[in-house]
Amino acid sequence: MFNLKNKTAIVTGSARGIGQSIAVELARHGADVVVTDIIPGQQTVKKIKALKRNSFFVKTDISKKQEIENLIKETIKKFKKIDILVNNAGIFITEPTKKVSEESWDKTIDINLKGYFLCSQTALKYMKKGSSIINISSVAGILGYAQAAAYCASKGGTRLLTKSLAAEYGPLGIRINSIHPGIIETAMTKNLLADKKTREASLAKLPLKRTGKPIDIAGAAVFLASDASSYMTGTETVIDGGWTCTL
Ligand SMILES: NC(=O)c1ccc[n+]([C@@H]2O[C@H](COP(=O)([O-])OP(=O)(O)OC[C@H]3O[C@@H](n4cnc5c(N)ncnc54)[C@H](O)[C@@H]3O)[C@@H](O)[C@H]2O)c1
């Protein structure tokens, strides 16, 4: 059990999937959590309140600076401080490079990379010594997936955004780390894994012989948010069922 009592957290993209699981697990360990997403997040708020922690929802498109500023303003108004920011909201578009439109490229980069930067930049104005930012990147931030140029560029960018911010904010006692999930069963991978051939090929690559669940990611986020990881910054935690261990 990690101690996040009296900590306040923001988790982007926490209406469902990995973000929801992280938000709920942070609350289970004592944190009050701001749920934020472009889709309704009341279900996550309800789960957190059932754990007797404080929570509210703020609709935010993380590719829009003004909406991020509103999210941070609301957080400070209600919770007075920000101890933990989990940059999790993201999109995955797979398409052959020759079909990638400028609009599609910009959308992925605006959400998956610029959004992480803007949320961090705005939250950091209020974050103090002992705070922690966790960026949800991907194995696609380490390896190249075919037909996912923008996604891989955004996730690789997030990996080094993490290290750059860690170098800058380490002296202030603020830690920034990234998590790199492999294949996790969420709405994002539903269609991909519904295809029998793709599922079998995916499982064949995994030494643990199973796909991941959002809870498999949430534990690491709780650890990175807590003082148990107080000497870790700029690191990359890979959670992929062993996918990359033999590469
Ligand atoms: N599922 C996987 O296999 C996997 C693997 C590696 C990394 N990831 C990363 O994990 C994170 C969470 O993904 P997930 O699998 O839970 O997918 P998901 O689609 O279930 O959740 C993503 C959430 O982000 C929200 N979102 C999308 N665009 C947004 C925007 N502009 N502003 C605010 N919120 C927005 C969605 O509404 C959704 O609730 C993503 O960053 C994803 O790239 C997922």
pLDDT in tens, 46-76: 999 999 999 999 999 999 999 999 999 999 9
Most informative mutation of 188, 191, 192, 217 for ligand 1 (most atoms within 8 A of CB): 188
Radius of gyration of the chain measured on its C-alpha atoms? 17
pLDDT at 62: 98
Most informative mutation of 59, 92, 203 for ligand 1 (most atoms within 8 A of CB): 92
d(CA 174, CA 182) in angstroms, rounded, equals 27
How, if at all, do strands 236-239 and 55-59 pair? Answer: unpaired
Under-50 pLDDT residues of the chain: none
> Which residues does ligand 1 sit against, CB inside 6 Å?
12-13, 15-19, 37-39, 60-63, 88-92, 111, 136, 138, 181, 183-184, 186-189
In the structure encoding, which two tokens stand for residue 147, read together?
């037909």
**Domains recognised in the chain with CATH numbers:** 8-186+213-240 (3.40.50.720)
pLDDT at 142: 97
Q: CB-based contacts of 73: which residues, under 8 Å, 6+ apart?
A: none
* 142 to 93, 132, 180, 192, 236: CA distances (angstroms): 17, 22, 8, 20, 10
Q: Name the helix (H) or strand (E) containing 223.
A: helix 214-225
pLDDT at 148: 98
Mean pLDDT of the chain: 98
Cβ atoms of 152 and 144 within 8 Å: the answer is yes
Most informative mutation of 14, 16, 18, 202 for ligand 1 (most atoms within 8 A of CB): 18
pLDDT at 246: 82
Residue listed under structure tokens 């360990």: 29
Catalytic status, residue 126: no
Cα 237 to middle of ligand 1, angstroms: 18
Please count the other Cβ atoms lying within 10 Å of the Cβ belonging to residue 50.
Answer: 11
Cα 20 to middle of ligand 1, angstroms: 10
pLDDT at 55: 98
Least Cα distance to 178 among 135, 133, 223 occurs for: 135
Cα 192 to middle of ligand 1, angstroms: 15
- Entry pTM: 0.98
Residue listed under structure tokens 């920034």: 176
List the catalytic residue out of 116, 126, 145, 151.
151
Cα 64 to middle of ligand 1, angstroms: 16
Reported as a single tens digit per residue, the pLDDT across 17-35 is 999 999 999 999 999 999 9
Per-residue exposure over 94-126, b if at least 16 CB sit within 10 Å of its own CB, e if not: eeeeeebeeeebeebbbbbbbbbbbbbebbbeb
Cα 2 to middle of ligand 1, angstroms: 25
Cα-Cα-Cα-Cα dihedral of 10, 112, 240, 28, to 10°?
A: 10
